[in-house]
Amino acid sequence: MSGRWRRVLFGVVAAAVFTAAAAMSAGVFAGGSDDSPVGAPAVDTVKVTLSTITAATIVDGEIGYGQASAVTSKAAGTLTWLPAAGSTVRRGQPLLRADNNPIVLLYGELPFYRALADGVKGPDVAQLEANLIALKYTGFEADTSYSASTAAAVKRWQKDLGLPVTGTVAPTDVIVAPGPLRIATQTARLGAPAAGDILTAGPTTLVVTAKVPATEPDLARKGIKATVALPDGAPVEATVLGVVTPTDGAPADAPPDQGQPQVTVQLVLKAAAQPEPGPVRVRFVTAEHADVLVVPIQALLAVGERGYGVELRDGVTSRIVPVQTGLFAGGKVEISGEGITEGVTVGVAQ
């Protein structure tokens, strides 16, 4: 826990324990007497409980489709068609038309960088053949070699697309992405050259985008767990995918002179159904101590220099004992010390 946070916590606790200390000095805690001064704070009692105490950071978030990126075409000719914003393009479907010929989407990680024809070998051939098989074009051996059988399957595919039947595939003919794309915006106009950045697109699954304090870098680490309160109030588990890198022209996160610095992260939801886009609250657990002794913060009394104690009550008698504090969270505090066990009664200023 940072020194700054300790100072903040001490200020919060000091406000709570001041009331309790004032009550004690007014005789409220004196041996169970019923003669309390007029106007003295009311005092209640609680039992020390064995519990799990959890500290959390809660931030605002938004369910959406995440950050879109540019889709770049190498197609020759004139741009004659683009898919509408909000539509989804899947494997084998056109991402654009150049001179009215479809330029289709294939799945993979390796961009097409050369023409593929009979006799060519390499991982780009294996990637093309995997896509052909997924599109139900077979009759060739799936490997890294572009054979005559591969060319025959390509010809059948080209014929079905209404393309010139050549049996070869060039970088100008297809666009590769890791999976289906949801079209965000059209960035080129019809009639312009078909080569260049023509669209922005992103994943088809909903993600949560949230800004977390830059002073808590652990919250931005990939794999960190969180709970998202959906617009209907239902809680859903989520996992951090990573930090969002702003694209060119995107506003940067707030600089230090405009409030607390923040980092934008994306989280993937573990929901069975796709929730509706909209604002959400994201809860990150920052610390959790299980099976510890817990009391309300109002039970703490100021003892010594920045020390704490509690008033142990046993029937009509009471005594102040010092305690060591652990985690503060949710209006409660973890305590330990001599005589502090589960079920003992302590005074609490109201």
- Shared domain for 94 and 53, answered yes or no, is no
At 279, which amino acid appears? P
Average pLDDT, the chain: 85
Q: Which of 281, 309, 335 is the last residue of a domain?
A: 281
Tell whether the model's pLDDT for residue 337 goes beyond 70: yes
> Which run of H or of E encompasses 18?
helix 3-25
Q: Count of alpha carbons within 13 Å of 122, Cβ hemisphere only? A: 12
Residue 143 belongs to domain with CATH number? 1.10.101.10
* Four-residue CA torsion sign, 293, 298, 300, 306: positive
pLDDT-based confidence at residue 138 (cuts at 50, 70, 90): very high
- Shared domain for 79 and 176, answered yes or no, is yes
Tell whether the model's pLDDT for residue 34 goes beyond 90: no
The two tokens of residue 51 are 């519990």
- Shared domain for 302 and 338, answered yes or no, is yes
Tell whether the model's pLDDT for residue 165 goes beyond 50: yes
Residue 244 belongs to domain with CATH number? 2.40.30
- Shared domain for 178 and 223, answered yes or no, is no
Residue 122, φ and ψ in degrees, nearest 5: 150, 175
Reported in sequence order, the residue ranges of the chain that DSSP labels E, i.e. its strands, are: 43-47, 49-64, 69-73, 79-81, 88-89, 94-98, 101-107, 174-177, 181-186, 196-202, 207-213, 225-229, 235-243, 262-269, 278-296, 301-303, 307-314, 317-329, 332-336, 345-349
Tell whether the model's pLDDT for residue 289 goes beyond 60: yes
- Shared domain for 12 and 135, answered yes or no, is no
Residue 35 belongs to domain with CATH number? 2.40.420.20
Instruction: Specify the residue for token string 């109030």.
Output: 233
- Shared domain for 21 and 99, answered yes or no, is no
Closest C-alpha to 329, from 107, 54, 116, 58: 54
- Shared domain for 179 and 91, answered yes or no, is yes
Q: Mapping DSSP to helix (H, G, I), strand (E, B) and coil, where does residue 236 land?
A: strand
Q: Are 73 and 103 in contact (CB under 8 A)?
A: yes
Question: What are 263-281's pLDDT values in tens digits?
Answer: 888 888 887 777 888 899 9
Cα-Cα end-to-end distance for the chain: 28
pLDDT at 73: 97
- Shared domain for 272 and 304, answered yes or no, is no
Say how many domains are in the chain: 3
Which residues make Cβ contacts (< 8 Å) with residue 77, sequence separation at least 6? 98, 99, 101, 193, 194
- Shared domain for 197 and 250, answered yes or no, is no
Q: What is the CA radius of gyration of the chain?
A: 32
Percent of the chain with pLDDT over 90: 64
- Shared domain for 36 and 118, answered yes or no, is no
Average pLDDT for residues 52-72, to the nearest whole number?
A: 91
Average pLDDT for residues 147-156, to the nearest whole number?
A: 98
Q: Which of 180, 201, 222 is the last residue of a domain?
A: 201
Q: Are 36 and 30 in contact (CB under 8 A)?
A: no
pLDDT at 323: 96
- Shared domain for 52 and 84, answered yes or no, is no
Q: Which of 172, 201, 230 is the last residue of a domain?
A: 201
At 249, which amino acid appears? G
- Shared domain for 196 and 110, answered yes or no, is yes
Closest C-alpha to 313, from 321, 325, 305: 321
Domain span including residue 212: 61-65+204-281
